[in-house]
Amino acid sequence: MLRGLDIRDMLIIDRLELAFQPGLNVLTGETGAGKSILLDALGFVLGWRGRAELVRQGADQGEVAAWFALAADRRFRCEVLRALSDTLVELHCQHDDRGLLNPRGHRQMLDTYAGLEMDLVKSRHAWRALAEATKALTAAEARIADARAEEDYLRHAVAELDALAPEAGEEATLDTQRRLMQAAEKIRSDIGKAGEALGLQGAEGMINDASRWLQGVVDQAEGQLDDPLAAIERALLALDEAQRGVEGCLDALTFNPTELEEIEERLFAIRGLARKHGVLPDDLRGFADELRARLTVLDDGAGALQALSDDVKAVQATYDKAAALLSAKRSKAARALDKAMAEELAPLKMERAVFATTISTAEAGPEGGDAVAFTVATNPGAPAGPLNKIASGGELSRFLLALKVCLTQASGGITMIFDEIDRGVGGATADAVGRRLAELAANGQVLVVTHSPQVAALGSHHWRVEKQQTQDMTTSTVVPLDERSRIDEIARMLSGDTITDAARQAAKALIQA
């Protein structure tokens, strides 16, 4: 529960320290005294509001700190802890913007009332699985549709590429062979002439003649021709090696004239396919593999689609089961909530009013396929409708008080704050509202901002919000009231600025009632 609130430099509050107690805490004061500022400050520290204009004029910054006591009797300081605020405080006013008057939040409230946290986890998990399976099926269908749209092209292209069967590096090899063949005639002519110059009619014949002539006189030369003859022998060996190389080259340059045509035809075919498909010649084989893989998707598509479709059906069944279970539990919880509301409305002088939780079919989503709306009828037989459309101001206050009580019964230790929940009601009805607030606070903590003396008289702790004005400054402060001051404050609420003895007596009677 809320134990303390420390406010500095916020709106018209200079410095204020408040210590709250268990039970029913009442805040009263003249209109404009600053009661709502306290709620603004508390909302600021809990992350409900973050307006820069909350800072008091002339101050560099404002500060709000709140203290809460947990059930385990541990205390902590809560500064801008929005993530924890829903477990600490419930704020309510006639123009509640946190869900009660907003049908979009009614399903969540019913789910909380019914304790469906684990069921919602299962439903969300099944919904995600369904979305993923559907996405996979849709993507596969799209891939197959794309492949089917270009099936003729794929089959023709793969057949064409497979027929040619190009290899990496083949284009360069064929180009080299083609250029060599184109220049072969000229090369053969020069090489042939060189062969003749090396043969018997050329160098080889002349060297043999020289060797023969020297062999005829070697004996008379007294050994001086031995080295020249050895050199000639080596020259003949080298010349023989050269001749074999030239002959081998001539053999290599000997080809069938149609071979050049075949090489050119294949080379041009490879280059033509490369241009056609916009790839390099060396990449044609890999490109053919890619096209073949796309065809495989098409050829194997029926089986793959069936498997994915079976997956979708399986997760759809899981989701449908989870959604159906949510619907059943919501229907049961709706009946229980309607019954609880009937019990709450009776002591609030609305025993003839009817509250109904309607559940209708909505678009499926992570949390099932139900739409939930809280409707009311102020009298039996009267048309039902949304809370803020059917009920008058006073009726709306009581409907929302009853609903708040029902929805927060399981929230042990939470502080409930009501901002002018009694607006538009008076007399016995205001007394009934006050007594319900007091009962609600008996086992917890309730803070109520009120203009009703009947409600204020039932408070366990009472503060008066006062506005103080000087020549150049207006500030607001909060004063805790003792027994006598409390009687005077309730008397003021009964009679106005002039407090009479009769008003004091009436105030005492209200407090003692």
User: In this structure, what are the phi and psi dihedrals at residue 90, rounded to the nearest 5 degrees?
Assistant: -115, 120
CA atoms within 13 A on the CB side of 384: 11
The distance in angstroms from the start CA to the end CA of the chain is 27
Question: CB-hemisphere CA count at 13 Å for 393?
Answer: 7
What pLDDT score was predicted for residue 313? Answer: 96
DSSP 370-422: EEEEEEEESSTTSPPEEHHHHS-HHHHHHHHHHHHHHHTTT-TT-EEEEESTT
Residue 338: the pLDDT is 95
The pLDDT score that the predictor gives to residue 205 is 87
Q: Which DSSP string do the residues of 34-103 spell out, in sequence order?
A: SHHHHHHHHHHHTTS---GGGBPTT-S--EEEEEEE-TTS-EEEESS-HHHHHHHEEEEETT-TTTTT-G
Q: Give the tens place of pLDDT for each residue, 407-453.
A: 776 555 678 888 777 776 778 888 888 888 888 888 788 888 888 99
Q: How far apart are CA 427 and CA 411, in angstroms?
A: 31
Of 187 and 314, the one with more pLDDT? 314
Which among 106, 117, 100, 134 has a CA at the least distance from the CA of 326?
117
> What confidence score (pLDDT) does residue 78 get?
44
Report pLDDT digits (tens) over 80-128. Answer: 444 555 566 666 555 554 456 778 889 998 998 999 999 999 999 999 9
> What pLDDT score was predicted for residue 364?
95
Token representation of residue 403? 């609903």
Q: Which of 90-94, 99-103, 188-192, 194-198 has the lowest mean pLDDT?
A: 90-94
Q: How far is CA 53 from the centre of its chain?
A: 32
Residue 38 pLDDT class (50, 70, 90 cuts):
confident
Query: What is the pLDDT at residue 49?
Result: 57
pLDDT tens-digit series, residues 292-304: 888 887 777 777 8
Structure tokens at 148: 């089917």
Q: Is beta strand 368-377 parallel, antiparallel or unpaired with respect to 385-386?
A: antiparallel
The strand ranges marked E within 252-378 are 354-365, 368-377
Distances in whole angstroms, Cα of residue 55 to Cα of each of 41, 222, 466: 10, 130, 19
Residue 454's H or E segment, with its range, is helix 453-456
| Closest residue by Cα to residue 94 from 334, 356, 443, 450 | 450
pLDDT tens digit sequence for 309-349: 999 999 999 999 999 999 999 999 999 999 999 998 888 88
Amino acid present at 443: N
Answer whether 307's CB lies under 8 Å from 211's CB.
Answer: no
Q: CB–CB of 213/264 below 8 Å?
A: no
Return the higher-pLDDT residue of 78 and 452.
452
Helix, strand, or coil (residue 224): coil
Residues 6+ apart with CB under 8 A from 333: 110, 113, 114, 116
Task: Please return the burial class of 227, using the count of CB atoms within 10 Å of its CB with bins 0-12, 13-18 and 19+.
Answer: exposed
Q: pLDDT above 90 covers what percent of the chain?
A: 32
Contacts of 423 (CB under 8 A, 6+ apart): 94, 393, 394, 397, 451
User: Which tops the pLDDT comparison, 488 or 92?
Assistant: 488
Q: Is 195 helix (H, G, I), strand (E, B) or coil?
A: helix
What is the three-state SS of 95-141? CCCCCCCCHHHHHHHHHHHHCCHHHHHHHHHHHHHHHHHHHHHHHHH
Instruction: Give the whole-angstrom CA distance, residue 402 versus residue 351.
Output: 12
Domain 2-94+387-481 has CATH 3.40.50.720: no
pLDDT at 52: 55
Separation of alpha carbons 26 and 185, rounded Å: 117
Q: Is the pLDDT of residue 482 over 80?
A: yes
Q: What is the pLDDT of residue 204?
A: 85
Rounded distance between C-alpha atoms, residue 366 and residue 127, angstroms: 5
Which pLDDT does position 30 carry in this prediction? 83
Whether the model clears a pTM of 0.85, i.e. scores above it, the answer is no
Mean pLDDT of 270-274: 93
- pLDDT for 88 equals 65
State residue 393's pLDDT score. 65
Residue 278, pLDDT score: 93
Please give the average per-residue pLDDT across 126-141, as a whole number.
94
Cβ-based neighbour number of residue 8 at 10 Å: 18
CA distance 103 to 90: 18
Q: In the chain, what are the domain boundaries?
A: 2-94+387-481, 147-301
The alpha carbon dihedral of 252, 258, 261, 267 has a sign of negative
Asked if the model's pLDDT at residue 484 lies above 80, the reply is: yes
Q: What's the rounded Cα separation, in Å, for the pair 192 and 219?
A: 39
pLDDT of residue 87: 60
Specify the long-range contacts of residues 378-383, CB closer than 8 Å, at least 24 apart: 378/350, 378/352, 378/353, 379/352, 379/353, 380/352, 380/354
Mean pLDDT confidence for 206-220: 88
Span 160-179, average pLDDT: 91
Long-range CB contacts (< 8 A, 24+ apart) of 384-392? Answer: 384/354, 384/356, 386/101, 386/103, 387/100, 387/101, 388/101, 392/424
Q: Is the pLDDT of residue 189 over 70?
A: yes
pLDDT above 90: residue 268: yes
Q: Are 394 and 425 in contact (CB under 8 A)?
A: yes
- Block residue for tokens 């969300």: 124
pLDDT at 258 exceeding the cut of 50: yes
Question: 492 vs 497, which has greater pLDDT?
Answer: 492
Give CA separation, 427 vs 351, 454, 510, in Å. 17, 7, 11
For the chain, what is the mean pLDDT?
Answer: 84
Higher local confidence (pLDDT), 31 or 317: 317
Q: Could you tell me what percent of the chain has a pLDDT over 70?
A: 89
CA distance 392 to 46: 31
Region of poorest pLDDT, from 13-17, 242-246, 344-348, 351-355: 13-17
